[in-house]
């Protein structure tokens, strides 16, 4: 499962503190509303000296855990020169109306559907860690803040005191020590934000206290381009399915989040999924290993 990944989070954080990488902006895809849900193209990166997973995740604007799930045979820190890394930048759009912001928690992605053109902007995001899940919701962007002040909640204060024996500062002003980074978008009137970060790790992972983290360049783009009152849906769709062009039968499976009631960490064989796959034995033979160990890649059952 994502939260039980064998990779040591502490090791990852230490590594990223020492070796810096530069982030990129959103990946933009053309869409055809109501006619297709497949976006992006399959990509394979050939490893050169100096490559490592976090650098590749930022280079291609994909989540770290998404890259890890798509390439379980690779050591994320010691990539063999000349080997091939699958970049998971082909995907099916979530099964939901294509408007505003959609955050699909199991895939750790944020989609923004442009209101005036058939384009979707896709960003990797960090979400709430186990026990502090980002809540499912349908809301709007309530307000936008530049250089937000960070004020830890009483729950955060109590948790930090229990772990470290001291309390956090009551507030942290804008600057390099502010965990919100330079920009924040509030979900409705709640305490949950889509915000930047003063640290690169945690994007494309479950690492926050429930808010949605983005790279600074990405949150700046949203801040500049997404107006207040834009619709926001936070959803839980670990399995996405689509018939495309009459000949493609596509499915994409992500590891469900174990602390969300609907999935409890296991891929559920719903009636809709069983109807979609059908009764062909070869389809199930192709799919069952992915159900057992989801890789987040688009699979064409008919190919």
CB atoms within 10 A of CB 143: 13
How many whole angstroms separate alpha carbon 114 and alpha carbon 50? 36
First to last CA, the chain: 28
121 in active site: no
Contacts of 113 (CB under 8 A, 6+ apart): 31, 98, 99, 100, 101, 102, 119, 120
Closest-CA residue to 187 (of 128, 120, 253): 128
Catalytic residue among 74, 121, 195, 254: 195
Q: Residue 120: beta bridge partners?
A: 29, 113
Strand-pair partners of 248? 244
Three-state SS for 16?
Answer: helix
Could you say which of 74, 121, 211, 254 is catalytic?
Answer: 211
- Record the tokens describing residue 282, joined without a space: 């070869």
CB atoms within 10 A of CB 259: 16
What DSSP element (H or E) covers 70? helix 64-70
Q: Where are the beta strands (DSSP E) in 152-205?
A: 183-187, 193-195
Nearest-Å Rg of the Cα atoms of the chain is 19
Secondary structure class of 2 (helix, strand, coil): helix
Angle, in degrees to the nearest 10, between helices 9-18 and 53-60? 70
Q: Which residues of 62-95 are buried (b: 16+ CB within 10 A; e: fewer)?
A: bbbbbbbbbbeebebeebeeeeebbbbbbbbbbe
State the catalytic residues: 195, 211
């Amino acid at each position: 499962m994502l939260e039980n990944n064998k990779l040591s989070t502490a090791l990852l954080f230490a590594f990223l503190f020492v070796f810096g990488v530069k982030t990129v902006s959103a990946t933009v895809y053309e869409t055809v509303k109501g006619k297709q849900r497949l976006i992006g193209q399959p990509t394979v990166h050939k490893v050169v000296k100096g490559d490592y997973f976090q650098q590749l995740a930022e280079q291609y604007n994909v989540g770290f855990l998404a890259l890890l799930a798509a390439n379980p045979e690779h050591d994320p820190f010691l990539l063999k020169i000349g080997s091939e890394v699958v970049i998971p930048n082909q995907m099916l759009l979530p099964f939901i109306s294509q408007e505003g912001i959609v955050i699909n928690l199991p895939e750790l992605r944020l989609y923004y559907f442009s209101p005036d053109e058939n384009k979707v902007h896709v960003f990797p995001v960090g979400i709430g860690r186990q026990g502090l899940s980002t809540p499912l919701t349908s809301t709007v962007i309530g307000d936008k803040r530049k250089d937000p002040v960070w004020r830890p909640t009483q729950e955060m204060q109590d948790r930090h005191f229990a772990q470290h024996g001291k309390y956090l500062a009551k507030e942290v002003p804008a600057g390099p020590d502010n965990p919100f980074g330079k920009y924040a978008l509030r979900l409705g009137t709640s305490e949950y934000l889509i915000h930047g970060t003063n640290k690169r790790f945690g994007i494309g992972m479950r690492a926050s206290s429930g808010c949605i983290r983005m790279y600074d360049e990405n949150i700046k783009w949203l801040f500049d381009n997404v107006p207040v009152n834009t619709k926001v849906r936070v959803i839980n769709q670990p399995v996405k399915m689509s018939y495309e062009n009459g000949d493609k039968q596509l499915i994409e499976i992500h590891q469900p989040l174990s602390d969300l009631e609907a999935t409890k960490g296991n891929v559920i064989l719903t009636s809709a999924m069983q109807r979609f796959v059908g009764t062909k034995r070869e389809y199930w033979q192709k799919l069952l290993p992915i159900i057992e160990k989801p890789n987040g890649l688009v699979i064409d059952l008919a190919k």
